[in-house]
Structures are given as C-alpha cells and as structure tokens.
Amino acid sequence: MARLVIDPVTRIEGHLRIEAQLDGGKVSDAWSSGTMFRGMEIILEGRDPREAWIWAQRICGVCTVVHALASVRAVENALAIPIPENARIVRDLMAGAQMVQDHVIHFYHLHALDWVDVASALKADPAKTSAIAQSISDYDRSSATYFRGIQQRVKAVVDSGQLSLFASGYWGHPAYLLPPEVNLLAVAHYLEALEWQKDFIRIHALLGGKNPHPQSFLVGGMTTSLDPNEPFAVINPIVIDKLQDLVKSAKKFVDQIYIPDVLAIAPYYKDWFSRGEGLGNFLSYGDYASDNLEDPKTFLFPRGVVLNRDLSTVHAVEPAGISEFVTHSWYEYSGGDENGKHPSVGETKPKYTGPKPPYDFLEVDRKYSWLKAPRYQGKAMEVGPLARVVVGYASGQPDIRAAVDGVLTKLNATPTVLYSTLGRIAARAIEAQIMAHRLQGWLDQLSSNLDHGNVTVFNPIRWDPATWPKSARGFGWHEAPRGSLGHWVEIEGKSIKNYQAVVPTTWNAGPRDTQGNRGAYEAALAGTPVADPARPLEILRTVHSFDPCLACAVHVIDAQGRKYTLPMVR
Amino acid sequence: MLAVETEQASLAGALGRRGITRRQLVKFCSLMLTTLALPDKYLAATVAAVSKAKKQVLVWMQFQDCAGCSESMLRSSHPEIADIVLDLFSWEYHELIMAGSGAAANAVLDRVVTQEKGNYIAVVEGGIPTADGGVYCTIGGRSALDIAKTVCGNAAATIAVGACAADGGFMRAHPNPTGAVGLEEAVPGIRLINMNGCAHNPVNTAAVLVHYLTFRDLPAVDQHNRPLFAYGRVIHDQCERRAHYDAGRFVTEWGDEGHRKGYCLYKMGCKGPAATFNCPTAQWNDHTSWPIRAGHGCIACASPRFWDHMSPFYDRLPSVPGFGVEVTAGELGLGLVGAVVAGVTVHGLITMIRPAPPYPETKV
Amino acid sequence: MHPALNEDRRHPEVPVGQCSAVYVWQYPIRLFHWALVFSIAVLAVTGYYIHDPFIIDQVKRPYLMGWFRFVHESFGMIFIALFVMRICLFFRFSGGDRWVRWDQYIPLRGVQFREMLNVMEFYLFIRRTPISKIGHNGMAALSYVAVYTLMLVEIVTGLVMYDWIMQSPVIHFLVGWIPRVVDIQNIRLIHFFAMYLFVIFGIFHVHIAMLISRVEKRGLMDSMFTGYKVIPVTELDEAEKQAELSRK
C-alpha cells in the first residue's frame, strides 16, 4: 500500500493533482483534485451582461471560444434574442474549428508522449517508417529522406544533452510498446501537427481577429460583417477563399495524418481497450443544429443521456436534473454541505480547509479539491467526445454511426471497446473527422449566403439595455471539445446579478459526492496497473484520455447564496 | 583569429545539427530586429547569439492561468514553435507540453533552479494569488507565490507574459476574491519585463527573447515595465480605420453599412484611443488579422489592469464609481444639470414673489 | 454724470448725490471673463462631439472629427492661457484691480466666512437682504476659486490626453507620470464629467447674477460689460477706511 501523488499533472490545461492508492501494482483508489481557483463568477457580478463573454472566454485559453459561445447563448436566452443564420454559421465554424484543432493538439502534443517513446525513434530505420507511412496514408510527406531528416533533428537535440521539453519523459518505460519506426512516424507528425495547428487556427484570426481569445462575438450575433463587394468587410469573397484553403487543410490533416496515426498506434495497445472504463454513464447536451434548432435529436451531436453503457436507450436531458455537490470541495453551502444544488440555485463561499502549503498529501476523506462534484439525477456522468459519440451512436446519428462503424471495422472490434482509455482517443479522432468535414458544409452555406446578398449577422433588437426586462434568467449550452458546457446567467437592471458555469472538466475531474460516488477520473483510474510508481505513465494515459482542462473546471457560483427558482427551460 | 575560427566552427556545427538553414535563421533574425525597431547593424550579432552551441535554458511557469498565453506561443510563426522548442532554447519546463509529470517535472525544475542558477530565463504566465496563504493555486503542494519566489528569484531574467502575470489579470478585477497580483508585486526586485496582453503576442515575446540572447539584456521599457518597441504607441494612431475616425465616419450599430465598410468603431466603445500596443502592426497568427479588423472594438487588453479600467467594453468611458454599469457618466451629468435647472427655477420663482428689500443695507 | 448712474439703472430710493460709479472690473478681468465664457462654450460643444460624434457626415465634410479635435485642442490652449492670465491677475497689485487679487478670493479672514454664512441665509430665504459688496462677497469668491480649480483639473487631464498622442517632451515631463497613478480611462472620465460641472456652475452663476442684480440694483450685471458698479458713498467711505487700515 503506497500513496502516489502526481502533481503537477502536465500536458493538460491547468493545475490537476492526482493522488492514488497503490495496491499490488494497481491503483486501488484515486482522488482527483483541482488546485487552482480564480473566482470568475464572483468577478462577473454587477458587470454588463453584453460583455460577459469577453470575461468568460478567459476561463480557458486552450478551449478558447467555447466559453464565449456559451456565455452569449446564455444572455441571448435570457433576453430572448434570436440570432441570424449567418451568425450561427460563423459561430459553428469557429467552434467547430476549435474542436478540430483542439483534438489534434490534444492527441499529438498533450497525449502522444504517453504512447510514443521519442528516444526509441532514434533507433528507427527511416526507410521502414516511410513504408509504414505510405501503407497507411496518402499523405505526401512520407519519404525516407523526410523521416531521416526528422530523426537527425531529434538526434541533434539528444546529442546536445539539452533535451528541452523531452528531458523529463519516461523514455524506455516498459509500457511503451510501439516499434521504433512507428515512434519515428509519430514524432514526425508531432512536429507536423505543431506547424499545422498554428496555420489552421488562422480561421479564428480571420473570423475573430486573433487566437487565443478571438474577439468577434456579440450578444445578438457576431461582428463579422458580410459584404460581397466591400474589401473591408470581415467576410468577403477573398476571406471565403482563405477559409476554404484552411478547411481543406483540416480535412487533409485529419484524414491523412490524424486518423491513420490513431489506427496505426491503437493495435499495439489493445490492453487499453479494456482499461480506464470509468463510469459508464454518458451525458451530452447536444450541439450544432444545422436544420432544426428546436429538436436536439437532429443535432450533429444529439442531446441525451446513456446510462450503464446501455446503448438501447437514450434518455432525454432534464436540465433540472443537474446539481453540484461540495461535500469534498473547498466550499461551503448555507444549507449544509451534504445537499446538492442546481446551478441556478447554487451558492459558493470558498472555504479552504485543506493542509497549509507546502503539503505532501491532501485530506482525501474530507474536502480535497477546488472542483465541485456535478451530478445528473444523482449520478456521476462522463462528458466529452466519448459521451457524444456514445449518445450519438445510440441515437442513430448517421454521421457518427458511419464513422464509428468504419473505425471499429478497421480495428476489428465491437462498440464495447469504446468504454476505455483508447476508446476516448478513438472517439476524439472520429469526432474530429466528422467535424472537419462538417466545416466545409457550413463554409459553403456561408459563401452561398454572401453571394445571394444575405448579409445579416447581428440582431439589434436588444442591444440597448433600455429594451431589457427588469430581470431575466437564461442558460447557454455548448458541446465544447472536452464535453458538455453550460453557463447560467441572471440579469437584473442592466447588470449581471448571478453568473455560473458548469464545465466539462468539472463533470469529469470532480471529486466525490455526498454518497462517496467517485468522479469520472477517479472511477476510470481504479484498477489501472502501475509498473513503476516513480514513473506513473499508466495513470497519465487514462487521465490524459479525458483531455483535462482544469482552468475551466474550477469555478464558483453566486457569492451571496441567494435562492432562485429554476430557469425556464425549453 | 583562432577565436573567430572557433566561433565560426561552432556556428556551422550548431546550424548543421539543427533542422534550420542559415538562410532561415537570418530571415528570422531580421524579422526580430524589425519588431524590436533595431537597425540592421545588429544582424550579425543576433544571428551569432541565437546560434550558440549551448542553448539558453528557459522555464515556462503557469500559475493562475488559462494557458492562453502558452497557446499563443504555440501559434508563433516566426520562429516556428518547433524551432523554439528544439533549436533556439532549451525549453526545460512547461507544464502544458512537457513530457514528464509529477515528481519527474518537479525534478527538472529543481535541477534548473540549482544548476542553472542565475543563468536561465523564467517566463511566467498567470497571476499569483496572495490571499489566505496562497491556497488558491498550488503546484506539487507548494503555493504559486513560493514557487515564483524560488524560480524567478534565481533567474537571470523573468518575462511576465500576458495580463495575468503582468498585473494579476481578470482574477484581480474587483473584488479580487483570491488576492491575485502580478509578478512585479508578488516578487519585487527581480529583473523583469511585462508582456501585457490577453493573450501576449508571441512575436513580441520572441523578440524580447532574441534581444536577451543578443545583448544579454532586456529591451528599454515604459513606466509599466513593458518594452517600448511594442507598447510605445497608441493603437488608435496606428489603426487602419483611423482615416474614418478623422473623417467622422463611424459604425453606429453593429452590422450597419458603416460596419460592413470598415468604419471606425469608436462609438461602439473601442478602446484603441486608450491603449498602447503594436497590435495593428504586429497582428496575430502569422500576421493574419487583429481584433479591430474582425469588426469588434479594442478592449485594450495590453493596458495595465485593463479588466477594471477599460470595462465596460461597449462604452467609451468607464463607469462612474458607485453607479456601476447602470448609469453612464453622460446620463449622470445630464441628470445633475436637469436637477440644477429645476432647483434654480424654483428658487427664482420664490425670489420673484417676495417683496424687494429696502436699499441700501450692507451691514454684515 | 457717469452713465452707470442713469435713472433707469439706479435704485429709485437712492438720490444721485449719494452714490458713485466705481470702476470695479478693469478690462483684463472682463476680457478674461468673456474669453473664458466663449472658450468654455466651444470646448464643451467640441468636447461633447469628440465624446459622442453626433454628426455623422460621410460626404460633405470629409475631415469632421479632425476639425472638431483641432478646434478643441486650439481652444484648450486658449483655455490654458486664460488660466495663466487669471493667476497673474491674482498677484497684480498695481492699478485699481484690488478686487481681483488673491486675498479677495482665498477665505482667510473671519469676515469672509461671516459673509458666506449670510449669503447662504439670503439664498435660503432666511435673510431678506443680499450681501452687497464692491467686489465679490466671500461666497461668490469661493465659488470662483472652485471654478479655477476645475479649470486646473480640465487642463491637467486634457494635457495628459494630449501627451498621450503628441508625446511632446515638455508636456510629457509635466504630466507624463500621471497615467501611472490615475488610469487613462479615468482621466477621460474626469475630463468629460468636469464639463458638466462647468455647465452646472454656469447655470448657478447666471441665475445668481440676475437675482442679485435685480435685488440690489447696483449694476452688477452691467459691471461685467462696462466695469462700473453703482456704490453708495457711505459704503465707499467705509471701503476706503478698510483699505487704509489694511495698508497700515
């Protein structure tokens, strides 16, 4: 019995600490703790709700855009502002681009080093790597010369003795199973992806001025003015051409590099198709309504809940079923910490009761995280790409069905392998591919609107605060790259009275609830083998498969602890 | 003579080992000099400095952050991030992208702080919470403040990237629940430069890094400790929409004709006139665009304490203290004038109906 | 006989022989007064336009904001000159400008405080008769000190913003440190809001001038045009004695 602490968990966004109990070379119990708190919602009180998105977007710089989107949706919902079609398309394009880019970055730069031994790549035969590359993909940069160049570059770094970011890696760990040639392939694509992601994300610069934190959202639409004849309109035919090139590059990257790489690496790690299963309960708010805004079943990612891995039933999402617990979180509730609260009736008083830093261990049987523990109808849920793919698959969404079946056929597997560490990786890749191709459809639609003189991109009816009701409540949901994201807002007069966010990583990385039920990370880690406690690569694999984003996850709810009735829910 | 040959050998060797050609390197150095507003005569020195055989050690710390500044650095095009990571620096610690976690990561940091003491560059992202003993941000069980003191206190120079590291960022906005501050206040007395912005612009940060490599010194700074080459001029004066401002052509409603034609966003609350930054010239994401070109007003994200000072972002002026966003300064002023007019009228009427006093009566 | 003592301007109860026309406001202070009125009006209008461009003219006047800013900045310089001029007049002891000297304005003597109290009593209808003085009463004088302070605030905040774009070394030396203490946006807010205080002062000023002029019948309004007030001889003798005393 030994207590293992991983803090900082790197290659994630934010500050995550994992404490794990090891028993016979396996994790017998685990605790996930967010160790950073900022207090965004307290700060937002009293400010102009029209600018809430600018603030909320700063919750996270990795999943930039998503909080801006959820925030404007919440305020638009509160003030009952319908947005023009073009605004929806531009938002979908930006959020979709974010999803594709984020998934690629996650796979190559945040997750790949758990599976790929960079040092081993030095032993590879570039000619063999080239042969492998050409057998799995049509991607043009696949010559032996190219891979030799990459190998020499890595060798130069290793020879210099200054290994940069790779210095602390677990190279040579017995859990690395890829042959050197595949390792070299992956290292080459690590660098390719670094280059591609910064080029592709110019889509955000074109539509939002910059990335991270694009700046083109408005409550009621977007600032991206459309005009087919104006050179200074944000979107004109010249910009459309640029966007076309970028969307093409996304399709090419995902189809020719990302998907083939996942399919090439996965067979070497078949054990991980049964490890890290986690909760088995999946939640998706659903998003990307192309035709029917009112029917969440027709969304690109349908809305629904799947319980206990039962794909035969998709339950409807009841917004009132969401509650957050602070039994094991550093907050206190006025009515006692044992009861959960719906985000719209929630309250927060940060109250740190943990050990005084510097400390060695957290008091895991008491409060141990800055994350709250969200539950859906009392159950812990997993959100994210896997949840979306599972819910979409169970709902019979044709794009998701086809993509999942395609991948499963290639891997010669059944849908049950999805409930695993590798399943999350596969789901993310599937989703990136669906999204990359969907971007094209939206862009073509935007281009067609532009050609036909449909240039409305903003609805001005409620811009002036004088047109607002005395008080209003609303919520905005979005399926962010990491899962289901919800913002709740209450407006009184011209300012925000209460603001709150329940974000994907809070669902996944949250601590235990009152009943002691584990969060998704904690559940997924149980039973994970750890060959070398000094180099806990296996734990990182499962944690990383969720793509943690801790800055998002730590948030607070209304500081005054007022009571509200539930928001109006359509 | 021998020294020169050795130097050349080292340069050639260093270049050979790297994936970049000399041509690429010279191009990159020229761009950095342009950004820094330095003359060409420094080119040779710059090229020599960035191609040293032993790479400059750098650690990138993240405290109360959103990782946006790290992501911004990942969007760097000149130099490519791959070049920075592999070729220009020995980028030893950066939680977002480094290979090892937990003990392995902490060991790297400990080694840098002890073995490279006084020689490494620390880049800091995120604010530092000071309230309640620093419990609002801990890494490896240590408070952010504790780590910042150790890491920045032993660095040759510290670069605070982004608004949060420079002045506490949005966490510090009223009411600052975690007692967040910027590095300048958290660890006073260190050799520091602030790269304000939300996020920081990677071109400027790269230029500062190159400046340090070349001159072993940080560039000249303004009163907020920001480099003058990037923060010396008002955005409004460099803006591509400036001609529209002078001409009195304004966007008056989002999506109107002026908005489509790219008129000035002044009336929509643009903070370009209040912000100093090279955003219009440096631009973002490989010189693709910048916020005003995307049709939204500037929020002055590179100005000190901009979250409180520059909001509300859709009004030209800040809120009057005590009134929040409910009443603007103009409305308050007009209200006061109205009240005074009413009061004076009543006063005048009362005076009129009273009999005139006798004359003269000057006794006090 | 001086025109100030004409039948229609004089109080009917005052025989001509018992009062005298006194040249209270010499031309520098009158010039200051009217130039200030004009420049405040111009600055307020142009400043408001700069705050909120209410004329959106896209064709006819292609440099509208530029002109408004030019006029605003030019009159800002005139405004500064007027402020400097007024400060000089504070310390001018030659000639007959004794009523514009600093000691008439800064309340240091008990009599000035007593005047303030009595003036407030008059305005609040507790006292029937106004406080008539040859120059300013203590209350009026203090209100002008407030206005001069307001002028200084506008000048300093204006110069900070001017320095923001012009980066002139002299101005930068004088006010360049201020944005470090008060954020530039708050400087803007102060500069803008002080305009309303000028407007409010203007309303009070005109109202009270008309009120007192009508009640005391000493040519108060006229004096700011002609310089002359009508003062009873007795009071003049008293003032002479006071002046004599203070000289000793």
Q: What is the pLDDT of residues A2-34, one digit of tens each?
A: 788 998 999 998 899 999 998 888 999 999 998
Residue environment code for B260-276, b if the CB has 16+ CB neighbours within 10 A, otherwise e: bbbbbbbbbbbbbbbbb
pLDDT at B41: 85
| Per-residue model confidence as pLDDT tens digits over A235-285 | 999 999 999 999 999 999 999 999 999 999 999 999 999 999 889 999 999
Say if the Cβ atoms of B104 and A168 lie within 8 Å. yes
Dihedral, CA of residue B225, residue B226, residue B229 and residue B234, to nearest 10: -110
Beta-carbon contacts below 8 Å between B and C: 133
pLDDT at C53: 92
Give Dmax over CA atoms of chain B in angstroms.
Answer: 108
pLDDT at B210: 87
Interface test with B, best of A150, A170, A225 (most B CBs within 10 A): A225
Q: Is the pLDDT of residue C199 over 60?
A: yes
| Per-residue model confidence as pLDDT tens digits over C230-239 | 887 777 777 7
Q: Please give the angle made by the CA atoms of A320, A323 and A325, to the nearest 5 degrees.
A: 170
Confidence tier at A496 by pLDDT (50, 70, 90): very high
Determine the residue of chain B that is closest to A552 in CA distance: B66
Interface test with A, best of B52, B55, B58, B71 (most A CBs within 10 A): B71
Query: Average pLDDT, stretch A105-118?
Result: 94
| Per-residue model confidence as pLDDT tens digits over C80-128 | 999 999 998 888 765 556 778 877 788 888 888 888 888 888 888 888 8
The more confident residue out of C19 and B7 is: C19
pLDDT at A347: 73
pLDDT at A563: 30
| Per-residue model confidence as pLDDT tens digits over A371-423 | 999 999 999 999 999 999 999 999 999 999 999 999 999 988 888 999 999 99
C-alpha radius of gyration, chain C, whole number = 21
Where does A2-333+337-553 sit in CATH, by number?
1.10.645.10
pLDDT at C179: 87
Query: Average pLDDT, stretch A300-307?
Result: 94
Query: Average pLDDT, stretch B85-97?
Result: 82
CA A209, distance to chain mean position in Å, is 22
Q: How far is residue C159's CA from residue A135's CA, in Å, rounded to a whole number? A: 71
Beta-carbon contacts below 8 Å between A and B: 339
The more confident residue out of A327 and C1 is: A327
Say if the Cβ atoms of C188 and B246 lie within 8 Å. no
Confidence tier at B79 by pLDDT (50, 70, 90): low
Q: Is the pLDDT of residue C45 over 70?
A: yes
CB B46 within 8 A of CB B96: no
Q: Which residues of B touch C123 (CB under 8 A)?
A: 347
Interface test with B, best of A41, A75, A104, A164 (most B CBs within 10 A): A164
pLDDT at B3: 37
Q: Do chains A and C meet with 3 or more Cβ pairs nearer than 8 Å?
A: no
Q: CA of B229, closest CA in chain A: separation in Å?
A: 21
Say if the Cβ atoms of B139 and A8 lie within 8 Å. yes
> What is the DSSP annotation of C18-51?
GEEEEE-S-HHHHHHHHHHHHHHHHHHHHHHHHH
The more confident residue out of C179 and C7 is: C179
| Torsion over CA: A332, A336, A337, A340 (sign) | negative
Strands B180-181 and B142-143: unpaired
CB B307 within 8 A of CB A38: no
Q: Which residues of B touch C176 (CB under 8 A)?
A: 223
Q: How far is residue A360's CA from residue A192's CA, in Å, rounded to a whole number? A: 39
Q: How far is residue C150's CA from residue C144's CA, in Å, rounded to a whole number? A: 10
Confidence tier at B297 by pLDDT (50, 70, 90): very high
CB B318 within 8 A of CB C189: yes
Q: How far is residue A349's CA from residue A347's CA, in Å, rounded to a whole number? A: 7
Q: How far is residue A76's CA from residue A70's CA, in Å, rounded to a whole number? A: 10
Domains and CATH numbers, chain C: 3-247 (1.20.950.20)
Distant-in-sequence, close-in-space partners of A331: CB < 8 Å, separation ≥ 6: A337, A348, A349, A350, A351, A372, A556
> What is the DSSP annotation of C54-65?
----SSS-TTHH
| Torsion over CA: A427, A99, A186, A159 (sign) | negative
Q: Is the pLDDT of residue A450 over 70?
A: yes
The alpha helices in A141-230, defined as continuous H runs, are 144-160, 180-200, 202-208
- For B309, the closest of C53, C165, C186 (CB atoms) is C186
Q: Which helix (H) or strand (E) holds C199?
A: helix C184-216
Say if the Cβ atoms of A198 and B99 lie within 8 Å. no
| Per-residue model confidence as pLDDT tens digits over B187-209 | 999 999 999 999 999 999 988 99
Q: How far is residue C62's CA from residue A243's CA, in Å, rounded to a whole number? A: 35
Q: Above pLDDT 90, what percent of chain C? A: 40
Say if the Cβ atoms of C14 and B359 lie within 8 Å. yes
| Per-residue model confidence as pLDDT tens digits over B25-77 | 787 788 888 888 888 888 888 888 777 767 889 999 999 999 999 999 888 87
Give the residue among C103, C89, C193, C190 at the shortest CA–CA distance from C141.
C103
Say if the Cβ atoms of A224 and B294 lie within 8 Å. yes
Q: Please give the angle made by the CA atoms of C183, C185 and C187, to the nearest 5 degrees.
A: 70
Confidence tier at A303 by pLDDT (50, 70, 90): very high
Q: CA of C78, closest CA in chain B: separation in Å?
A: 23
Say if the Cβ atoms of C183 and B305 lie within 8 Å. yes
Say if the Cβ atoms of B318 and C216 lie within 8 Å. no
Q: CA of B246, closest CA in chain C: separation in Å?
A: 5
> What is the DSSP annotation of A62-99?
SSTTHHHHHHHHHHHHHHT----HHHHHHHHHHHHHHH
- For B312, the closest of A48, A168, A194 (CB atoms) is A48
Q: How far is residue B244's CA from residue A230's CA, in Å, rounded to a whole number? A: 15
- For B344, the closest of C133, C188, C204 (CB atoms) is C204
Domains and CATH numbers, chain B: 11-231 (3.40.50.700), 235-309 (4.10.480.10)
Q: CA of B54, closest CA in chain C: separation in Å?
A: 40
As given in the structure block, the two tokens for residue A152 are: 């020499």
- For B247, the closest of C64, C164, C200 (CB atoms) is C64
| Per-residue model confidence as pLDDT tens digits over B124-136 | 999 999 999 999 9
Interface test with B, best of C49, C67, C150, C185 (most B CBs within 10 A): C185
CB C229 within 8 A of CB C4: yes
Q: Is the pLDDT of residue A66 over 90?
A: yes
Q: How far is residue A466's CA from residue A458's CA, in Å, rounded to a whole number? A: 18
Of A155-169, B21-35, B120-134, B208-222, which range is least confident?
Answer: B21-35
| DSSP-based three-state secondary structure for B143 | strand
List the 204-223 stretch of B: residues with Cβ below 8 A of C: 223
Give the residue among A461, A222, A465, A204 at the shortest CA–CA distance from B296.
A222
| Per-residue model confidence as pLDDT tens digits over C157-166 | 999 999 988 8
Beta bridge partners of A491: A472, A496
Give the residue among A341, A340, A269 at the shortest CA–CA distance from A498.
A341
pLDDT at B187: 95
ipTM: 0.91
As given in the structure block, the two tokens for residue A543 are: 């944690």
Give the residue among A299, A292, A325 at the shortest CA–CA distance from A314.
A299
| DSSP-based three-state secondary structure for B142 | strand
pLDDT at A165: 83
Q: How far is residue B64's CA from residue C220's CA, in Å, rounded to a whole number? A: 66
Q: How far is residue C47's CA from residue C198's CA, in Å, rounded to a whole number? A: 13
pLDDT at C7: 62
pLDDT at B6: 39
Q: Calculate the average pLDDT of chain B.
A: 87
pLDDT at B45: 83
Omega into B199 within 30° of 0, i.e. cis?
A: yes
Q: Which residues of B touch C150 (CB under 8 A)?
A: none
**Hey, which chains touch A, using 3+ CB pairs under 8 Å?**
B
Q: Which amino acid is at A502?
A: V
Q: Is the pLDDT of residue B12 over 60?
A: no
CB A481 within 8 A of CB A301: no
The more confident residue out of B17 and A515 is: A515
| Per-residue model confidence as pLDDT tens digits over A182-230 | 999 999 999 899 889 999 999 999 999 999 999 999 999 999 999 999 9
**Hey, which chains touch C, using 3+ CB pairs under 8 Å?**
B
Query: Average pLDDT, stretch A496-520?
Result: 91
